[in-house]
Amino acid sequence: MTLILTDVTLTYPDGDTRLTALDRVSLDVPAGTLTAVVGPSGSGKSSLLAVAATLVTPDHGHVVVAGTQTDGLSSADKAALRRDHVGIIFQQPHLLPSLTAVEQLQVMTHLSRRSVRASRPRALDLLDAVGLADKADRRPHQLSGGQRQRINIARALMNEPAVLLVDEPTSALDHERGAAVLDLLLGLTRERSTATVMVTHDRAHLDRVDGTVGMEDGRLSVSTPV
């Protein structure tokens, strides 16, 4: 299962005119690979992820998520597609302060109307996969920034997404922790065969990803060597 964007253009209202956030963007991300999209602030990276996630409908172009052509889908169908097939890792973890680490993951199951109690083994397995097996009962204030980001990543994998979209996951971390988070994302992409897109303004650590494309003023450039 892959993620395919074809000739996607997205504009936002901007006074009397419109601002072009994405300009004829095409991107094909095979399962089990991680593509990095690198560009400065304001170049359209988050917009690209929002369109890939079907959170925002582009003006033109096509988005295929895990084999489903999303043109013309109702918002309910898009919500169901996101819930079942898309994992989104936002820049900020947005953890719920009152929940323990394992409960943060189990909330995802609640949203998909599966049994929350039955989800505990999977949540614990994912915490183990991100190196937090021994922190399952901690609440966010008892965890470091890097640990909270790992929970954010594990939570996005709870519903076994085919497509994983990651927005600047290392921006709030130091160099060493940033490298560890990228290693983790690469390992999970391979193990769980996700089609992963990671956007970042930071070219550090990108030597091991499967592909790197540059983004500037809403346009993607051909693969650039890191």
Query: 25 vs 108, which CB is nearer to ligand ADP?
Result: 25
Task: Check residue 135 for interaction with ligand ADP (CB under 6 A).
Answer: no
| Buried-exposed string 137-150: b where 16+ CB fall within 10 A, e elsewhere | ebbbeebeebbbbb
Contacts of 164 (CB under 8 A, 6+ apart): 86, 87, 89, 156, 157, 185, 188, 189, 194, 195, 196, 197
Tokens linked to 151: 């929970």
Query: 3 vs 132, which CB is nearer to ligand ADP?
Result: 3
Tokens linked to 129: 């996969």
Which among 40-48, 73-81, 86-94, 175-183 is the span making contact with ligand ADP, rule CB under 6 A?
Answer: 40-48
Contact 149, 179 (CB under 8 A): no
Question: What residue ranges bind Mg ion (CB under 5 A)?
Answer: 45-46
Instruction: Return the HEC string of 1-31.
Output: CCEEEEEEEEEEEECCEEEEEEEEEEEEECC
Among 5, 8, 21, 130, binds ligand ADP (CB under 6 A): 21
Task: Check residue 159 for interaction with ligand ADP (CB under 6 A).
Answer: no
The structure tokens 């390992």 sit at 187
Cα 60 to Cα 37: distance, rounded to the nearest angstrom: 21
CB of 183 to ligand ADP, least distance (A): 23
Task: Check residue 169 for interaction with ligand ADP (CB under 6 A).
Answer: no
Task: Check residue 58 for interaction with ligand ADP (CB under 6 A).
Answer: no
Which among 35-43, 64-72, 145-153, 157-165 is the span making contact with ligand ADP, rule CB under 6 A?
Answer: 35-43
Task: Check residue 44 for interaction with ligand ADP (CB under 6 A).
Answer: yes
φ/ψ (deg, to 5) at 94 = 50, 50
**With CB cut-offs between 5 and 8 Å by kind, which of ligand ADP, Mg ion, none does residue 43 bind?**
ligand ADP
**With CB cut-offs between 5 and 8 Å by kind, which of Mg ion, ligand ADP, none does residue 12 bind?**
ligand ADP
Query: 39 vs 178, which CB is nearer to ligand ADP?
Result: 39
Task: Check residue 46 for interaction with ligand ADP (CB under 6 A).
Answer: yes
